[in-house]
Chain A
Amino acid sequence: MPAGNVKVVVENPGTAKSDEVELKNGEGIIMGERENIAPGLATDFTLTLQPGRYVLNCTFQNEQRDNGAITVTGTAATASDVSEQDLDRAVVAYKAYVAGETETLLRQTRAFVAAVKAGDVAKAKALFGPTRLHYETVEPIAESFGNLDPEIDARVNDVADRSRWTGFHKLEQLLWQQNTTAGADRYADKLLADVTRLHDAIPGLRLQAAQVANGAVGLLDEVSSSKITGEEDRYSHTDLSDFQGNFSGAREAFEVLKPALIARGDRSLVDEIEQRMAAVQEGLDKYRRDTPLGFAPYSELTARDRRQFAQQIAALAEPLSLVAGRVLPNQS
């Protein structure tokens, strides 16, 4: 098929629920997906495909099947106007940010893992939050690599089989709930291996401007669904640091897209988003502390501020969700 916008229609003609359908590029990176497709129903997703080979996977009862390859031909869509060049620059800048964050994440994970394996509970606890922050800044990117996100960042209630629960939160549970590093080695080793996998996958990452924009909204959804409620770091109560990570990642995604928005005459949308971002940061700054974490524990968050954060995030995410539509090429 020719390069350009492609609508993928997914139909489940069978009688059992299909878990997931994914379209991956040559590097195995998920470009688009749909989950939980009920029998007899169809759904679709649209994305811009550049020339190359793609694979469609259908997952059923945790078993992945390749359901055919797609070859996209023709020439890549070329930058047709100034703002498209802005978009290209935005994607390059955002990728550089992601590369920097995953570099820091890997370096700090090495130190965190070393503390765990050395049996230094206090040091491991001090490194836990500041390390995670660099995961939280780029979490939607990690989510595009299939199982990597659940293996690094699942909470205990996210996993089907708790004996196979791994990642930051498993170590958090050992460190805070049991105050030990005993039995933690294998989780530490696996975390380092998974973070290394994430880090090494970034150079091959292909991003579209719309993904960057919608990733920013996804980061705010993370804040409102789990950080504001204190469910993310339920043993260590380091949620406010994660909140800052998600929020910084969203702000970075917006910053790189800002020139394109301005080039398209969307100054008022830019102003609105900037004002609302400033309000969130101002609220968060009240909880900064001179501690290794840099933030107060979640238990210090007042009910009033919790509600205000939730309202501010909702007020910010609404205009932010319009950004993808404003910067997409060939759309009004």
Chain B
Amino acid sequence: MADARPSGVTRRRLLLGGGGAAAGLAAAAAAGYAVGDAQADSGAGGGDAIVPFDGVHQAGVATPAQQRLVFGSFDLVDDDAVALRELLRTWTDAARLMVAGKPTGTVAGQPEVPPQDTGEALGLGPSSLTITIGVGPSLFARGGEDRLGLRAKQPARLTPLGPLPGDQLDPARSGGDLCVQACADDPQVAFHAVRNLLRAGRGTVELRWLQLGFGSNTATTSGQQTPRNLMGFKDGTNNLKVDDPAALARHVWVGDEEPQAWFRGGTYVVARRIRMLIESWDRDRLSDQEAVIGREKISGAPLGASREHDRVDLAARAADGQPLIPLDAHIRLAAPSTNGGHALLRRGYAYTDGIDPRTGLLDAGLFFIAFQRDPQLQFAAIQRKLGAQDALTEYVQHTGSGLFAVLPGARAGGFVGEGLFG
């Protein structure tokens, strides 16, 4: 690994186009990243921002959240480490092309042969596409069996989350041997990415589940206007920010504590499909909605404060001695100060899958995505508390869950996950 420093967002996110191209390439070279032959799409509009694929860390973690998500979970068809290696190389090659706004092959080649690339992203530009690949615990052990002969390479903290309070998990929406998170500013660019990786992997992997997200629901950069989730509340005011390398090094990137040297520079992602019982929420009175969250609805200010970014004072009490932020309020239970200082980099998206056919009620909510160094100490510990005590649990159901080790980034000319096979 040539450069072990955490990658700064400003270097990762290069706007190649017009006069920006030369500067972008120069910055990339200085940072030790290969841009390869990435070229800007000359089209007008906002589609020409490129987030480079290669680097110390994979893109799509410390990348300011794009507007759209397609998240796919895959299972290996055969217990075959050689096929897995080939797949990761194929995916890396295809991903490098797609993040540069290029098709993965011919869109119109021989008349008697299917086009290599499916074509729907043609002309849409790179659209800040990031493709982030992870591996699940089942890749290393299934039923206690070292199915691929890779157990000696298993990241130390990649062990199943185990049951958590409040789980209502659907096995068909949970788990998986591999995951691909595709984020982009254009929904079709993100879908195209997962679709073409699926096609390239036919016979080696099968899609286990797929989730679309339609709006970035969490603030990920400082100074950004905080987005609102489907409950109508601002989300991510106190989230870790991707432009704070020190915080990412402390809470997100796996470092020297990891005995698997190959996995340093990776991270762990927990993805949870959190259905909101929207109809119930919508008829809850405003004061209760605010008490459940612990913030004012419009301003986002912590209860008892006046502005969104005011300090959350968990000790503040009203004249009657009651805490201003109730004991079961979401922000109290989720705050780092009540969780031993542990924090997550959340990067979630709103989702809807239409209606629940059993009831006709909306099936919508948050596809929660969080990156961390230690899923047991961070996500699981926090969720154990939230699932048991959080006032919000009355309005949400965790219906899907995935834990994956997000592989370190690819070296120029190498491929994501190369370290698994060293």
Could you list which residues of chain A lie within 8 angstroms of chain B, going by C-beta atoms? 7, 45-47, 210, 213-214, 272, 276, 311, 314-316, 318-319, 321-322, 324-325, 328, 331
Contact = CB atoms under 8 A, between A and B. Distances in A.
Given A272-B203, A311-B206, A314-B202, A210 B114 contact: no
Given A319-B203, A321-B113, A328-B110, 19 more contacts: A7-B111, A210-B112, A311-B77, A311-B206, A315-B77, A315-B202, A315-B206, A316-B203, A318-B199, A318-B202, A319-B202, A322-B113, A322-B114, A324-B112, A324-B113, A325-B109, A325-B112, A328-B112, A331-B110
Per DSSP, chain B at the interface is loop
B111 A45 contact: yes
Nearest to A316: B203
Contacts of A47: 111
Contacts of B110: 324-325, 328, 331
A322 B113 CA distance: 6
B114 A321 contact: yes
Nearest to B203: A315
A47 B110 CA distance: 11
A47 B112 CA distance: 8
Nearest to B200: A318
Interface string B93-124: 00000000000000001111110000000000
Contacts of B109: 325
A45 to B, nearest CB: 7
Contacts of A46: 111-112
Interface of B: 77, 109-114, 199, 202-203, 206
A201 B77 CA distance: 43
Closest 7 CB pairs of A and B: A325-B113, A315-B203, A46-B111, A318-B202, A210-B112, A324-B112, A321-B114
Contacts of A318: 199, 202-203
Contacts of B113: 321-322, 324-325, 328
A261 B166 CA distance: 56
15 contacts: A46-B112, A213-B112, A214-B112, A314-B202, A315-B202, A315-B206, A318-B203, A321-B113, A322-B113, A324-B110, A324-B112, A324-B113, A325-B113, A328-B110, A331-B110
A190 to B, nearest CB: 35
A85 to B, nearest CB: 19
Contacts of B114: 321-322
A331 B111 CA distance: 11
Contacts of B77: 311, 315
A324 B77 CA distance: 26
Contacts of A213: 112
Nearest to A7: B111
A315 to B, nearest CB: 4
A311 B202 CA distance: 8
A221 B206 CA distance: 18
B115 to A, nearest CB: 10
A318 B202 CA distance: 7
Contacts of A214: 112
Nearest to B206: A311
A324 B114 CA distance: 9
A94 to B, nearest CB: 16
A325 B105 CA distance: 14
A276 B111 contact: no
A272 B86 CA distance: 14
Contacts of B203: 272, 276, 315-316, 318-319
Contacts of A331: 110
A8 B113 CA distance: 17
A203 to B, nearest CB: 25
A327 to B, nearest CB: 9
A136 to B, nearest CB: 23
* Best-surrounded residue of A210, A272, A276, A311 (most CB of chain B within 10 A): A311
A319 B202 CA distance: 9
Contacts of A272: 203
A175 B202 CA distance: 40
Contacts of B199: 318
Contacts of A314: 202
A316 B77 CA distance: 13
Nearest to B204: A315
Nearest to A45: B111
A34 to B, nearest CB: 12
A214 B77 CA distance: 26
A325 B115 CA distance: 11
Contacts of A321: 113-114
A56 B164 CA distance: 67
B176 to A, nearest CB: 14
A314 B109 CA distance: 22
B108 to A, nearest CB: 10
Nearest to B199: A318
A207 to B, nearest CB: 13
A322 to B, nearest CB: 7
Nearest to B77: A315
A221 B110 CA distance: 20
Nearest to A5: B111
A210 B202 CA distance: 23
Nearest to B75: A311
A325 B113 CA distance: 5
B188 to A, nearest CB: 21
A132 B335 CA distance: 66
A214 B112 CA distance: 8
Contacts of A315: 77, 202-203, 206
B77 to A, nearest CB: 7
A200 to B, nearest CB: 28
Nearest to B109: A325
B80 to A, nearest CB: 12
Nearest to B111: A46
Contacts of A7: 111
B197 to A, nearest CB: 13
A316 B202 CA distance: 8
A210 B112 CA distance: 7
A311 B199 CA distance: 12
A45 B110 CA distance: 11
B229 to A, nearest CB: 33
A186 B50 CA distance: 66
Contacts of A324: 110, 112-113
A322 B206 CA distance: 20
A45 B111 CA distance: 7
